[in-house]
Structure 1
Amino acid sequence: MGYVTTKDGVEIFYKDWGPKDAQPIVFHHGWPLSSDDWDAQMLFFLSKGYRVVAHDRRGHGRSEQVSEGHDMAHYAADASAVAEHLDLRNAVHIGHSTGGGEVAAYVARYGIPQGRVAKAVLVSAVPPIMISTDRYPDGVPLEVFDGFRATLAANRAQFFRDVAAGPFYGFNREGADVSVPVIDNWWRQGMMGSAKAHYEGIKAFSETDQTDDLKAITVPTLVLHGDDDQVVPYKHAALLQTEILPNATLKIYEGYPHGMLTTHAEVINPDLLAFVQA
């Protein structure tokens, strides 16, 4: 574990486990979490002999709680700072939710131009854009995200508890196998970060049009999504991603929630491994 300083002077925390000569698997976490959200995947790939790397986004987890730069362009640049610092090559970059947007931006703008990326994976990811626009009229109304901002500003601790206990893991569904420790861990990760980073991050993950990023990703890309994702609807994310990406493979999981990497790791992890090894 360590820190890297970005070009604009921000301290970014990262984990780097496993053999340094092994193929790197790089994980990009969702909003408002940290690299800890990838525990199940990092331990799994580590056990298979891979080098596993993950960082905390600026303002999240153990990274510096700076005032500025809470946008997709800075997220991608920060990810590149980690990749360049560790000289990661032939890497597979896997991103969940907002982290999927970060992967798309990093791979398109830095990873492919620098020759560092072998493959990419977008899991329950936000691209091309979440809000309704002229280009994508079936998106989510902006007022929904305005509501997120208002609720976060009023009581971030309660908002984070409600998200984790409800739609994120599908724990609000009838008959759901609710895990209080999973809820507590989500809340713990969220509350480690900066309220300002989280507040401004809502705009980053909902209003950034990443169509051009997706078009530029020529490496093989796996798109995974649950069809009961209440946070990022798959019809406005995964289906559009596979239409735009030049080299995409799509898999939709019946009944899986947004946080399926945690709730269904025993299914998702082998699928990720099969793609990496293909």
Structure 2
Amino acid sequence: MTEFYSNGKLLLTGEYAILDGANGLAIPTKFGQYLSVKNATTGQINWQSLTDKNTPWFTADLSSKNFSLLATSDVQSAERLITILRETKALNSSFLDASNGVYVDTKLTFPKDWGLGSSSTLINNISQWAQVDPYKLLEATFGGSGYDIACAQNDTPIVYHKMGSDPKVEKVNFDPIFKDRLFFIYLNKKQNSRDAIKAYRQLNIDKNELIAQINGLTTQLIAAKDLGTFETVINRHEHLLSKTLKVETIKNQLFPDYQGCIKSLGAWGGDFILATGTMDDMQYFRQKGYDTILPYSSMVL
């Protein structure tokens, strides 16, 4: 059996603008996804995807010759998997050529609706298995900036800069001394990043000006030596994106009376937010029904 693993991801700065080349501060998470491959003699790809609780959420049997669908628990997910495998084959024509079949198991180490990269970790794992460029495979399937692929491959915070199919990834020393005051809170719904990207693409804005401002904020956030400076930067980032997207900040929408600072992460409106405060302050969110609260050190690799 051969096994692969990829880290999950969170984007602290640069959401949306990272698609157009802005510098984004991204952090790999302690959560991720495994993919294991074992040879078979069935002439099929017998695929099983497991949740973090070890229960199957998707199964599919495909022909190992042309990836045609034989049986599945979910046709939509199976069609997406077939697209990924065919695009993988287009990048490496010898992928599975000599195979008489394989058993493939994937396993998430986080709930799949958390939005920490169930797709990007899958793409990176398949790319390792097939020995293809994960950025090219991502572009051919899900699209996006590729920062999530960089997180899948790195074990430290990075600054990600999209440059066509050959991005620039810079490892950075980002380990704030005030991290005990930083918390990630799940908003109880998964955001569709593809829809969010489509909406952003339709905006008529000065992208160059937005990128310049985001780059400055990313640099300032990495350099922040105290919580007050950190909060000032994330507030500026939130207001800049709010003005650009013409969408109220998540704090104004849901938590206007919270005393600390709140920042959206990734596609606005779902998945996780970053909140500053103390452990006692987190009771505010629990009282509103947001029970999934992870301290920074429990989330970040």
TM above 0.5, one fold? Answer: no
Q: With CA pairs under 8 Å and 6+ residues apart, which has the higher RCO, 1 or 2?
A: 2
Q: Which has the higher helix share?
A: 1
